[in-house]
Amino acid sequence: MKKLIYILLTLSIFYGCQEDKEVGFDITIPQENISFQPTAGGAIMRYRLPADPDILSIRVRYQDAFGKEILRTGSYACDSLFLVGFNEARQGVLASITLCNRNNVESAPLEIAFDTKDSGPVAFFEQLEVKPSWNGFMLTYDVPQNANGMAHVFYIGKDPKTQEPDTLLINSFQITAGADTLAFPLEQSAATNTVVIRTEDFRGYMVKQQVWENIEAYNTALLSPSKFDFLDPEGLAIEDAEAKLSKSYLFDGDTKGETSFGTDKNTYGTYLAGPDCFGKPLFILDLQEDKLISEVRLYSMLYTKKSFPSAPSAWDPNPGKYGYVWAGRIFNKLPCNVTIYASNNKDDENSWKELGHFEQYRELVNNLRWCSKCPLLNTVDELNSLEEIKAAKPQYISIPFAATGSSYRFIKVVINDTFGLFSGWAGDINASQYVTFHEFEVYTKKD
């Protein structure tokens, strides 16, 4: 009899468990407690859980763009879930929402649908343009808010090892919201390029690819000084054959300071302009015809010259013709703020357009200045032979210009300021606003 009672009791418990398992628990989430906001690559589901201590979490099940089952779980700790896994915008994506209690038992499902927007890897292409650029191409794009992913940029070139045509990766970068422009100069020069762009999501899925053919490359070259004329409307350039000062030193091809090597303190072998140079046209170059201008460079001499005359003083009352200019220093006459303008009518002030600008803080620590290896700054940079000069790298300001397709005949150089004294010193001994640099180069679209 006892055995029969135990058997009946066991069957009763088992049946009760089976019944519970089938029924679950009867709390469900009202549909009005759920809302969706479409966003890039998915949707944000906002929810409000019932105030019941037995409820532990909320679960959402749906299929992503690849048909994969996705489970997202939320709790009282937050009020929203990001439903991910989509590329192109979709409408009416079906989802099943359940509540889960502390025994891991789920409620009856609420069937619902939501919409999505294009993901970052798709939206990236919507306002993407591939345009000609200097020695390559450039991308301009504007990505909507909350978009993300990865973009990979390729071009059709030659494999460096096999010399066979191949798709070569240039760069990979993260897709972020907002507008941007990226330029890609190429090592392999070509008149036109084929550009391939692929995008992927952060789950590693390749999303989209697009190809642009026959993108013109604005290949550049140094413009020979024989192709332009030097104009000095303010008469600022100092011409002194005895002191070896002349505008001609700007265009002689010496980018390091060989022409200054071995000179005494009263001869220089370089360019000097002044006084009162700041904010005026230092000089204008007439290119003789309209040209696409890609870049200009201003070079400083390296530490090839060992001395400059001091300012007149009780100890040296006659320091030479230019002692009052140099005052024993060159670095505070080197530009730290430069603006380049261009025009097709030099006599029309309203026609000048700013092409580019360079600026460093005038009291910047010496080793961070673009001209940190100029004379008299750091003795470890001294160059003591022509061999050392030839082996050294030049130092220069590069001012690149956007490849807009606009051509200009005239270039105007304006120096707004020069560097101050050694870092940490106060004052400015270049009160008369003299300017020096050693070489000037113009780069244009190759003919």
**52 domain-assigned:** yes
Asked, for residue 15, whether it belongs to a domain, the answer is no
Residue 210 contacts residue 153 (beta carbons within 8 Å): no
Element spanning 114, H or E:
strand 110-114
Same domain, 389 and 249: yes
Q: Are residues 155 and 89 in the same domain?
A: no
The whole-angstrom separation of Cα 212 and Cα 129 is 9
Question: Is the bond leading into 275 cis (omega within 30 degrees of zero)?
Answer: yes
What residues form DSSP beta bridges with 412?
Answer: 284, 341
The values of phi and psi at residue 104, to 5°, are 65, 25
Same-domain check for residues 352 and 424: yes
Query: Residue 392 burial (CB < 10 Å; 0-12/13-18/19+)?
Result: middle
- 315 and 400 housed in the same domain: yes
| Overall number of domains in the chain | 3
Domain containing 131 equals 120-217
The β-bridge partners of 443 are 222, 295
Contact 406, 284 (CB under 8 A): no
Q: Which stretches of the chain score pLDDT less than 70?
A: 1-25, 314, 422-428
Quick one: 224 exposed, middle or buried, by C-beta within 10 A (0-12, 13-18, 19+)?
Answer: exposed
Q: Could you tell me if residue 408 is inside a domain?
A: yes
- Round to whole Å and give the CA distance between 401 and 294: 5
How high is the pLDDT of residue 22?
Answer: 42
The residue from 175, 192, 217 where one domain ends is: 217
Same domain as 280, residue 142 = no
Closest by CA position to 381, among listed 301, 308, 438, 267: 301
- Taking the mean position of all CA atoms in its chain, how far away is CA 75? 41
Q: Look up the CATH number of the domain holding residue 361.
A: 2.60.120.260
User: Global pTM?
Assistant: 0.71
Residue 387 is assigned to a structural domain of this protein? yes
Q: Which of 165, 199, 217 is the last residue of a domain?
A: 217
CATH number of the domain at 67, please: 2.60.40.10
CA neighbor of 415 nearest in space, from 271, 301, 220, 215: 271
* Cα 111 from chain centre: 47
In a domain, 100, yes or no: yes
Answer whether residue 2 is part of any domain.
no
Q: Are 240 and 377 members of one domain?
A: yes
**Domain presence at residue 13:** no
Tell me 431's DSSP state. Answer: T
3 state DSSP class of 326: helix
Residues 385 and 441 in one domain: yes
Q: Do 431 and 363 lie in a common domain?
A: yes
Residues 179, 195, single domain; the answer is: yes
> How buried is residue 219: exposed, middle or buried, by Cβ count under 10 Å (0-12/13-18/19+)?
middle
323 shares a domain with 196? no
pLDDT given at position 422: 61
Last residue of a domain, one of 162, 184, 217: 217
Residue 16 lies in a domain: no
Nearest to 442 by CA among 403, 402, 398, 407: 398
CATH number at residue 140: 2.60.40.1940
Length of the chain: 447
Residues 283 and 403 in one domain: yes
* Pair (200, 242) in one structural domain: no
